[in-house]
Structure 1
Amino acid sequence: MNKQSPPAVTVTRPRGMVFRRVAVTALAAALLAGTATAGTAAADSGVAVPKAAAGQDRPELQNAMQAFVDAGFLGAQLRVHDQRGEWVGSAGVRKLGQTAKPPTNGRFWAGSVTKTFTATLVLQLVAAGKIGLDAPVAGYLPKLGLDRRITVRMLLQHTSGLFNYAGGETYDDGTSVPGLPATGDEWLVNRFRSYTPEELVRFALSKPARFEPGTDQSYANTNYTLALLLIEKVTGRSYSEELQRRILRPLGLRDTVVPGDRTELPGPHAHGYYRYQDAGQQKVVDISRQNLSLLAGAGDLISTTRDLHTFISALMGGKLLPNNLLAEMRKPYGKYNYGFGLFVQDLGPNCGTVYQHNGSPPHGYGALMYSSPDGTKTLTASVTWVDEATRGPAKDFQTLVDSLVKEVFCGGSAGAAEEAKQAR
């Protein structure tokens, strides 16, 4: 589909979904430049970095990242921390039709990775005695008219049964109820619209519940927007202020922000796109500008691979939560193996368990965040692409992710890589 790029120089230094399937388009493939680069974190700031010592290149990571571009993704940036130190690289292009590569620590819309931050805030408030995990949410937010059976735990585990305001729901009897415009052409024309968290929740509460509270599991952004309102209610401060006070400032996460109504990605960043039909003509629009107040508390953060690494490593290393609550957070529940803001994934024999949450805002961007149980091995990444209403085939996307994750956490998976190659 795309030509393989030439190998790039890689430098290392010692250490001191539910990701949705995405569209792979012929237009993107035609305009891609397949050059890949890799370097240390020093290169993120444009500082010249000497060549790595002999034997320190990581071609297996470069190839696993490049595989996304070869499959039709526009660009990718990857950061890995493991026993060999830190490896950082990018592949593809920053903008459609150009040759400049994605910045290796560029900002991106992080999507549902936000849920891990929100869950951590809630659990910090549980530790402080301000919130009860099994207390009714209605007790804290009485004016919303919530079902009193819905507990804080149910929000964090997606077991409340609440309607998903972003995109809508299809019920067991086959009935479909639309939500707010969250994908496709309808989202495109509404992508700069602002929403308040309460507006989103009240919209969801105006629709039928998916199931009785606690009887099933259904992934819904409503749960985490409610968690945002809960945080604000018990602290008397905004979600953004609490995030700064409790996580961002203590960890030095200077490139992670709650955008609110901001539509611009600040600083260096790669661009995502959306393709649509207009009067019989195909058009492509740059959607690096979008208003993610639509996903308040559930998918609206802006971040970088470096900040996501620092966060997930600190969380898994026990620096943000007491041991008992971290254990609760990491306990898999239900058909999704979902804890509190984390998916628990067993990679099989000789690989062990990883804790992860990936994310994708409505279109054009995706984020990956994976960690070993102790936080010493992490994978954080972002990809961009030309998206469309149908999301495209992308039949090999999950295979590509699996191959990348196994390369980092299992020492490689030739079988997965070959499967991805054959799928293309």
Structure 2
Amino acid sequence: MNADHLAGAGRRGRLGLRLAAVAVAGVTVATLAPTAAVAAGVEVPAAVGAAGTEEERRRPAVDLGPELRALVERGGATAAVGEARENGRRAWRDAAGVVDLGSGRAARADGRFRIGSVTKTFVSTVVLQLVDEGRLRLDDPVERYLPGIVPNGGAITLRQLLNHTSGLFDYLEDQRFLYHDDASLRSYLAKGRWTDFRPEDLVAVSAGHAPYFAPGQGWHYSNTNYILTGMIIRKVTGRTWQREVERRIVGPLRLDATTFPGSSPGIPGPHAHGYVQLPEGPADITLINPTVADAAGNGISTAADLDRFHAALFGGRLLSPARLAEMTTAVPAPMIAAHYGLGLIRYDLPCGEVWGHTGGIPGYNTILLGARDGSRQFALSFNVLEGAETDETGAAIDAFFMKAACGAGPAARDGRVGSPLKLLR
């Protein structure tokens, strides 16, 4: 998702509870003070080994364990889990940190987490399947499917929704989704996080603001685009976007740990908790009503499931070659120093390009990226203590990202190269 949801001004410097793109200057992303877990009186384990099969115990082609552990040991994340796959086989998996600050139980490599805007890639894939079936056309106007729902809907196409060139205002940049001080954060924790939103409510918030630009005349990440996309899926299929993702992607690929929970506030199965910082210490933010994210960021998954989804998508199992070519036709996205296709981000690195998406929702950040030819994928989830950021986590995330994408060669080691990564929420 994109704007700073409940993002604090003043003391928090708009770095608080962010459901939005972390457009941090330079190459870093949202960061967390190294002392966060220690301040809570918990000794955070450095790492938990992968499960016990022979394949998982073998030495990986690229060992990302040190970079993962750095998120906890120096970056201060309370938990981090990751997996990398190469040529259809798991090459590495690990976990670091704790499930929760109260018990200090070690995080699990198979733990589930909220995936934020990585949900958009699932939703876009469903749309492109419907295009393959002749039930949608990318250059049809929004007005054709949702008459009267959005101003100027006759001039905005489905393609422009998917690649964020519609110009529509991001509802999460509205002041009602921002917090400005500890009092408003406490109010959100006590009441606001349980609010139930309909997609129409979120679109109406956007419609109350002027667009960023005329359709097709710029690029601005806007979660409103994917709220509308989810509504179009329901209009065309007669089923919710969640149900369509489940029957078209989750079921066929056997992504058994992936869910799209609607309004349910919990995370099923094993998972690490998310936290936000208050003056008296960390407050648990794991439970929220995720209807505020809807088709823009409602999903829950694991690193293993995300890697399998990426491999299937780029391996040609979900879309025709023509639709995958359209999905990877990307426009410049200067806000994130990258290019954006249809529900996909392309990062251009010294070692080549990587494709995927990043995501975040309170307490959770996710990275899912890999090679265009489907030969390599890597997924990472880490739990930041919102509001207690330093530069350390940004450096640790950059190090993980560059090594996972480029291996252990000069491009990954050269600090002068840096990472263009921006986490989108």
* TM-score bin (small chain): 0.7 to 0.9
Task: Report the equivalent of 1:82.
Answer: 86
**Residue pair 2:37, 2:44 contacting (<8 A) in 1 also:** no
Task: Report the equivalent of 1:394.
Answer: 390
Q: What is the one-letter code of the residue matched to 1:353?
A: E
Q: Is the alpha carbon distance of 1:330 and 1:182 closer, same or farther for their aligned partners in structure 2, counting shifts above 3 Å?
A: farther
Instruction: Report deviation, 1:191.
Output: 0.8
Task: Report the equivalent of 2:168.
Answer: 162
- Output the aligned Cα RMSD: 2.5
Task: Report the equivalent of 2:372.
Answer: 373
Task: Report the equivalent of 1:38.
Answer: 49
**Residue pair 2:83, 2:90 contacting (<8 A) in 1 also:** no
Whole-Å separation in 1 of the counterparts to 2:138 and 2:43: 48
Match of 1:28 among 26, 37, 40: 37
**Residue pair 1:19, 1:366 contacting (<8 A) in 2 also:** no
Q: Is the alpha carbon distance of 1:193 and 1:327 closer, same or farther for their aligned partners in structure 2, counting shifts above 3 Å?
A: same
SS at match of 1:368: strand
**Residue pair 1:369, 1:381 contacting (<8 A) in 2 also:** yes
**Residue pair 1:403, 1:417 contacting (<8 A) in 2 also:** no
Instruction: Report deviation, 1:398.
Output: 3.8
SS at match of 1:72: coil
SS at match of 2:156: coil
SS at match of 2:32: coil
Q: Is the alpha carbon distance of 1:322 and 1:261 closer, same or farther for their aligned partners in structure 2, counting shifts above 3 Å?
A: same
**Residue pair 1:399, 1:419 contacting (<8 A) in 2 also:** no
Q: Deviations over 1:289-308 (max 9, x none)?
A: 11111011001101111110
Match of 2:71 among 68, 72, 77: 68
Q: What is the one-letter code of the residue matched to 1:61?
A: L
Q: What is the one-letter code of the residue matched to 1:24?
A: L
Instruction: Report deviation, 1:23.
Output: 4.2
Q: What is the one-letter code of the residue matched to 1:352?
A: G
Task: Report the equivalent of 2:329.
Answer: 331
Task: Report the equivalent of 2:140.
Answer: 135
Where does 1:313-352 land on structure 2 (aligned, <5 Å)?
313-335=311-333, 336-348=338-350, 351-352=351-352
Q: What is the one-letter code of the residue matched to 2:158?
A: V
SS at match of 2:125: helix
**Residue pair 2:112, 2:302 contacting (<8 A) in 1 also:** yes
Whole-Å separation in 1 of the counterparts to 2:56 and 2:301: 28
Q: Deviations over 1:116-155 (max 9, x none)?
A: 1111111111111111111111111003143111110110
**Residue pair 2:150, 2:203 contacting (<8 A) in 1 also:** no
Whole-Å separation in 2 of the counterparts to 1:182 and 1:156: 28
**Residue pair 1:18, 1:357 contacting (<8 A) in 2 also:** no
**Residue pair 1:68, 1:400 contacting (<8 A) in 2 also:** yes
Whole-Å separation in 2 of the counterparts to 1:416 and 1:122: 39
Q: Is the alpha carbon distance of 1:94 and 1:138 closer, same or farther for their aligned partners in structure 2, counting shifts above 3 Å?
A: same
Q: What is the one-letter code of the residue matched to 1:22?
A: A
Larger-gyration structure (1/2): 1
State the TM-score, normalized to the length of structure 1.
Answer: 0.83
Q: Is the alpha carbon distance of 1:18 and 1:372 closer, same or farther for their aligned partners in structure 2, counting shifts above 3 Å?
A: farther
Q: Is the alpha carbon distance of 1:306 and 1:85 closer, same or farther for their aligned partners in structure 2, counting shifts above 3 Å?
A: closer
Task: Report the equivalent of 2:360.
Answer: 360
Task: Report the equivalent of 2:113.
Answer: 108
Q: Deviations over 1:350-406 (max 9, x none)?
A: x21110201101x21111101111222110111113212xxx443244432332122
**Residue pair 2:56, 2:92 contacting (<8 A) in 1 also:** no
- Tell me if 1:56 matches 2:56: no
Instruction: Report deviation, 1:419.
Output: 8.8
SS at match of 1:334: strand
Percentage identity across paired residues of the two chains: 35
Whole-Å separation in 1 of the counterparts to 2:46 and 2:290: 31
Instruction: Report deviation, 1:97.
Output: 4.3
Match of 1:146 among 137, 143, 151: 151
Whole-Å separation in 2 of the counterparts to 1:355 and 1:258: 23
Task: Report the equivalent of 1:404.
Answer: 400
Q: Is the alpha carbon distance of 1:319 and 1:292 closer, same or farther for their aligned partners in structure 2, counting shifts above 3 Å?
A: same
Task: Report the equivalent of 1:6.
Answer: none
Instruction: Report deviation, 1:49.
Output: 4.4
Aligned pairs, number? 377
Instruction: Report deviation, 1:166.
Output: 1.3
Q: What is the one-letter code of the residue matched to 1:395?
A: D
Match of 1:291 among 289, 292, 314: 289
> In terms of mean alpha carbon deviation, does 394-403 or 195-204 score higher?
394-403
State the TM-score, normalized to the length of structure 2.
Answer: 0.82
Task: Report the equivalent of 1:175.
Answer: none
Gaps of 5+ in 2: 1-19, 24-28, 420-425
**Residue pair 2:258, 2:299 contacting (<8 A) in 1 also:** yes
Which gives a bigger RCO, structure 1 or 2 (Cα 8 Å, sep 6+)?
A: 2
Q: What is the one-letter code of the residue matched to 1:152?
A: L
SS at match of 1:143: coil
Whole-Å separation in 1 of the counterparts to 2:108 and 2:161: 36
Task: Report the equivalent of 2:383.
Answer: 384
SS at match of 2:342: coil
Q: Is the alpha carbon distance of 1:415 and 1:131 closer, same or farther for their aligned partners in structure 2, counting shifts above 3 Å?
A: same
Q: Deviations over 1:202-229 (max 9, x none)?
A: 2211222111111111111000010000
**Residue pair 2:114, 2:300 contacting (<8 A) in 1 also:** yes
Instruction: Report deviation, 1:201.
Output: 0.8
Q: What is the one-letter code of the residue matched to 1:256?
A: T
- Tell me if 1:180 matches 2:177: yes
Q: Is the alpha carbon distance of 1:32 and 1:217 closer, same or farther for their aligned partners in structure 2, counting shifts above 3 Å?
A: farther
Instruction: Report deviation, 1:57.
Output: 5.7
Task: Report the equivalent of 1:3.
Answer: none
SS at match of 1:240: helix
**Residue pair 2:49, 2:95 contacting (<8 A) in 1 also:** yes
Q: Deviations over 1:276-296 (max 9, x none)?
A: 24xxxx242211111111011
